[in-house]
Every structure is written in structure tokens, then in C-alpha cells.
């Protein structure tokens, strides 16, 4: 049952992004399609501190991989921990440098755990 609601959320996100792009553009570029590639970045840690060159290479590789698919969805934890922040920075940098003539769409979806007050712990939804 939860799988269906997650998929519905993805479809709503796609509709929202498509609508935003249609409002921004005058119809010259193609519309985003169903993702051809879905990347899931897992393994976040508060104590992980990558070397600067490693973070740079990771960002470049992530964006180049996503650009190769033209329509890509990146799932990540969405927290403020180091790996999540590197993923978010990479996509933000790409968006800033992305020229209007390009037809590459990269969507970033953060999946944070839900806090259960009565159980005093986090669970994934």
C-alpha cells in the first residue's frame, strides 16, 4: 500500500515540475518525460568527511551519469548529513549552470524518515 502512495507522490512531482517548466518556457524545448534512470544514493553518515577532491569527483560523476539519461530521478536521504549535502549541491550547481537550450532534466527527491513520537524512533515511509 505504501508503494502506491510513494509512486503517486512521484507522479504528482512530475506533473508539478512539468507545469512549472511549461510556465517558464515558451514551448521551444521538450517536456520532461518519465525518468530513464533512477539513482538511489544511500549510506549517509554524520561522521563521514570526504576529501575535497573526492566530493568534487563524486559530484561530477553523479551529474554526468544523470545527464547521460536526459531524464533522471535521484533519490537520496534529504538530510543535512554530508553525503546528502554533496548530492544536493551537485544538483543545485547543475541547475544554476544549466542553459535554457539544454533538454536534460534532473529531479532530486529527498526521502526523510518519519518520526514516531509514541515509539521514540524513526521509521522509513
| pLDDT at 96 (0 to 100) | 85
Number of H helices, E strands in the chain: 3, 5
Count of domains in the chain? 1
Q: Summarize the confidence of residues 8-18 as an average pLDDT.
A: 79
- Do 61 and 53 contact (CB within 8 A), yes or no? no
Residue-wise pLDDT for 67-120, tens only, equals 888 889 999 888 888 888 899 999 999 988 876 667 788 888 888 766 555 545
- Whole-prediction pTM: 0.66
Asked whether residue 65 carries a pLDDT value surpassing 90, the answer given is: yes
Expressed as residue numbers, the domain containing 11 is: 2-123
Asked whether residue 11 carries a pLDDT value surpassing 50, the answer given is: yes
The band of 28, judged by pLDDT with boundaries at 50, 70 and 90, is: low
Amino acid at each position: 500500500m505504501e508503494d502506491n502512495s510513494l509512486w503517486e507522490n512521484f507522479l504528482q512531482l512530475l506533473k508539478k515540475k512539468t507545469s512549472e517548466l511549461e510556465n517558464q518556457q515558451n514551448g521551444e524545448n521538450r517536456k520532461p518525460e518519465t525518468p530513464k534512470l533512477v539513482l538511489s544514493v544511500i549510506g549517509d553518515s554524520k561522521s563521514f568527511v570526504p576529501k575535497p577532491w573526492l566530493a568534487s569527483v563524486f559530484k561530477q560523476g553523479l551529474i554526468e551519469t544523470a545527464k547521460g539519461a536526459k531524464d533522471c530521478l535521484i533519490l537520496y536521504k534529504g538530510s543535512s548529513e554530508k553525503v546528502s549535502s554533496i548530492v544536493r549541491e551537485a544538483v543545485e550547481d547543475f541547475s544554476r549552470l544549466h542553459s535554457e537550450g539544454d533538454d536534460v532534466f534532473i529531479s532530486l527527491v529527498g526521502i526523510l524518515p518519519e518520526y514516531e513520537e509514541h515509539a521514540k524512533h524513526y521509521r522509513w515511509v
